[in-house]
Structure 1
């Protein structure tokens, strides 16, 4: 009996060891403890608690010191193997592709933009268009103001861009423009014969072990460049580590040190009229490189809407990657400066078992706030309902709900297809769907080739006649909330998105 117990315990130890080994090698990054790399576990725990107290909507983070992951966390239903939209962090991958092309002598940053697209030039070539160089695109100083905002209906974006008036001398004024980055992507495609996504595969993604990524394209088949990249948190951290290591990875120099310096140097100031004192407090005014922001504490970062970050801290030999749906990007960044940076030491720290265990416990139980509560008396309510609704802008013709104690299945019949989602009662249930999320309602966004999409569902009863369901599209930071009110067979469905809280109402009736 004792021998059996001993064998079982040994098996459990080996099992736990193998699980841990798999966890530490699945993304190719080494792991260590915070104290081993000179960072108190208590400081990281304080950071995580502050994130939640301020309700900053962070989905994940990964902190590296001396090239090793010392803390990482995903707020359920997010998880390590899920892709997450990078928004404008995509731009930094595009400028990295420029670095490879420059190193291969396919182009220089001084090359004139118009030379790459003679077939799309307007009838009149203005002096400013003649002067416009790739470097001006890389530094958000292309001279167009306001920045263009093309839609799919505008046809070829390269042609539209070259026809848009340039009102400032190129290189003189910072005006943020995602379509400037699209032009860089189009230039790279013209000289390499490949999309930026394909061009980076053997040069960046394969050496860094970055796999299964997606990038939106225009209707012309050009990677959008300035937005639309979908990849994992670890992938963001790897790009930051590559820049921290001055272009070297696993002993091989992928990009020249000179390019890393050039890309991260200040080439233009975003708000040149601010005083030095004002700039010192503003992470958005300390200078801009090649789609890279300089920030406080001698750090630099890739930066995307709603709080997507790759923060590189050379003085501390540290990298932090963050994904989020943050309502306050400045507060999100400040928490890194306030809680983590001051605690970093240049030596190994004594083990702090209590703090380390508290941090591990916290990181293992992270979860997004509940979108809504279920009324206690309705916790176990079951029903099946089928509804037809009036014509609407979302193209929904019918919807059905099949509610059990633990799950609710939502079936949407649209003009084009039937889609099914499973939502958990008091918990998220992950799945996949071919249905486009609200992100793709924008006329600038092209979903072709990106599905199926990862999605998570949650439901709860608001009252006896009102069911609430939340669909969270995990790869692109958008969500839909269905509030279904049934009044003796007449139904009102209020459909809101995270970008439109007012939403629309769908009216209809129950099919008996």
Structure 2
């Protein structure tokens, strides 16, 4: 049985590892001032966690959707499979799919190799994901192979989640296992990563380029493994040569400058300014590895300003890392510890109640046809809660909203499967605000409801998506007239 010490990262004070607590506080100040919606942060130095925090209602034991940070885990599986002799990075892509390849294979497709998938240098002119996922027969690999390859592979960078899916499909071909199952004994179990889930395509292949959910500490462990060049507790999990190759620049993706998406691309890892590298995912999911500083930073977020998040790291954390331990600063350490424990996203608390509640409570409003396919909404107000029942496609979703506080539940309202939400409500004059945070994802939504006689209007706003079209409705009995 694996020793328990292998499953958790050790903890230490920032100053003992050469980082002033005041620098971490300055980073948190910058995040707050720039209104960057972080959900969690974990900073490692010399293998120790020196700062960690979750903005309530997000919490340490809740997995978070990684989006494209999943790609770095997919790449790792390919590195492992190559080390086991199951494939070579120079194997051609079409060789794994003879039944799905076009009858006439164009030269650029014929020349496409696994390493081109890894470096996002497939030769396509645009991301293949939409056309691949919209294939009517659900055969994504076949759809990928039938798209035109306009450039010589290895010469043209296009960020392409379809390429990462193909890595997952190839891995399943050569191992007979899904990406998740293959990584379980080789990566997840040794690192103590439990409860990981990965979205699959209609053919049962993990999608690879997105869809992985793990905790913040799991992200940090993954980064620490790469920082340690593939060794974990004196056991080699990844070949050192793979780590070096995967995190080095394999293809140019821009002209550098101050853009952290133009510093070069490795094997599903981005090069950063300051000699760093990272895996990242949409809306601010980060695993930043800092080899010279011997540090790792894991972040989950719900933000459209990913460069802004990195700028806060470069401005406040990176330059503060010293090579030797610092003198203890008990006041700063205590201030930081209290702040990290008390992190929370602001709960909307504008107006605790409204005289409108009595007239609304118990009413069911039928909604006109709308994009979300919501059919009706009813509201019931109690002392500390509002209970909303929304019907969608004849399926009722009952959500409890805390009065100026979070209530946790699960719902299928905006997803096709049960998702955990933390929900609260408040009033602003005559407008009811219902806020839902999907705490396993970057997403949060606020419903703004206005009532005029027997009519209701509903607008839906997201934290990272544009506002959705509004909806109109009437009390159920009157809507039938």
Question: What's the TM-score bracket when you normalise by the shorter of the two chains?
Answer: over 0.9
Counterpart for residue 392 of structure 1 = 370
Farther off after superposition, 32-41 or 485-494: 485-494
4+ residue runs of structure 1 moved beyond 4 angstroms? 24-27, 379-382
* Structure 1 partner of 2:398: 420
Flag structure 1 segments of 5+ consecutive residues without an equivalent: 1-23, 438-446
Q: 2:441 aligns with which of 476, 480, 483?
A: 476
**C-alpha RMSD of matched pairs (Å):** 2.0
- 1:228-275, Cα deviation, whole Å (9 max, x unpaired): 11111111101100000110111100111111111111111101xx3x
Taking the TM superposition and a 5 Å limit, the aligned residue runs for 1:327-366 are 327-366=304-343
TM-superposed CA distance for 1:394, in Å, is 2.2
Q: 1:459 aligns with which of 425, 432, 435?
A: 425
CA shift, 1:153, in A, is: 4.3
- Deviation of the 1:491 alpha carbon: 1.8
Q: Does 1:88 align with 2:68?
A: yes
Q: Does 1:171 align with 2:154?
A: yes
CA contact (8 A) 1:306 1:327 kept: yes
Shift of 1:311: 0.4
- Is the 8 Å Cα contact of residues 144 and 167 (structure 1) preserved in structure 2? yes
Query: CA deviation digits over 1:428-487, x for unaligned, max 9?
Result: 2222224443xxxxxxxxx5xxx43111111111224x3110112122222332222222
Select 1:305's aligned residue among 268, 275, 282: 282
Structure 2 residues not aligned, in runs of 5+: none
User: Residue 270 of structure 1: which of 243, 247, 253 is its match?
Assistant: 253
Report the equivalent of 1:195.
Answer: 178
Aligned length: 469
The question of whether the paired residues in 2 share the 8 Å contact of 1:57 and 1:325 is answered with yes
Post-superposition offset of 1:331: 1.3
For the pair 1:240 / 2:223, whether they are aligned, the reply is yes
CA–CA distance in structure 2, aligned partners of residues 240 and 390 of structure 1? 49
Q: Is the 8 A contact 2:216 2:299 kept in 1?
A: yes
TM-score (norm 2): 0.93
Change (3 A) 1:377 1:130: closer
Q: SS of the residue aligned with 2:467?
A: strand
8 Å contact kept, 1:490–1:510: no
1:379: Cα distance to partner?
A: 9.3
Q: Is the 8 A contact 1:496 1:503 kept in 2?
A: no
For the residues of structure 1 that align with 2:245 and 2:367, how far apart are their CA atoms?
58
Given that 1:380 and 1:405 are in contact with CA atoms closer than 8 Å, whether structure 2 keeps it comes out as no
Q: Indicate if the aligned counterparts of 2:407 and 2:422 stay in contact, CA closer than 8 A.
A: yes
Residues 496, 504 of structure 1: 8 Å contact kept: no
CA distance in 2, matches of 1:220, 1:152: 13
What is the deviation of 1:26? Answer: 11
- Cα distance, 1:351 vs. partner? 1.1
CA contact 1:387–1:508 (8 Å) conserved in 2: yes
Structure 1 residues 394-403 or 97-106, which shifts more?
394-403
The question of 1:138 aligning with 2:104 is answered no
Counterpart of 1:378 (choices 333, 354, 361) is: 354
SS in 1 for 2:274: coil
Q: 139, 142, 167: which one pairs with 1:184? A: 167
- Indicate which of 1, 11, 15 corresponds to 1:35: 15
1:406 to 384, 394, 415: 384
TM-score (norm 1): 0.88
Does residue 508 (structure 1) correspond to residue 474 (structure 2)? The answer is yes
Report the Cα distance in structure 1 between the residues aligned to 2:112 and 2:374, rounded to whole angstroms: 47
Q: Is 1:154–1:160's contact at 8 Å kept on the other side of the alignment?
A: no
Instruction: Tell me: CA distance 1:433–1:27, structure 2 relative to 1, closer, same or farther (3 Å).
Output: farther
1:217 match? 200
CA contact (8 A) 1:185 1:195 kept: yes
1:321 to 298, 304, 307: 298
Distance 2:122 2:357 in 1: 60
Residue 328 of structure 1 and its aligned partner are, at CA, apart by 1.2
- Contact (CA 8 Å) 1:495, 1:506: kept in 2 or not? no
- Aligned-pair distance for 1:131? 0.5
Deviations 1:34-76 (A, max 9, x none): 0111110000011011101100111111000111111011111
Measure the CA separation in 2 of the matches of 1:244 and 1:340. 17
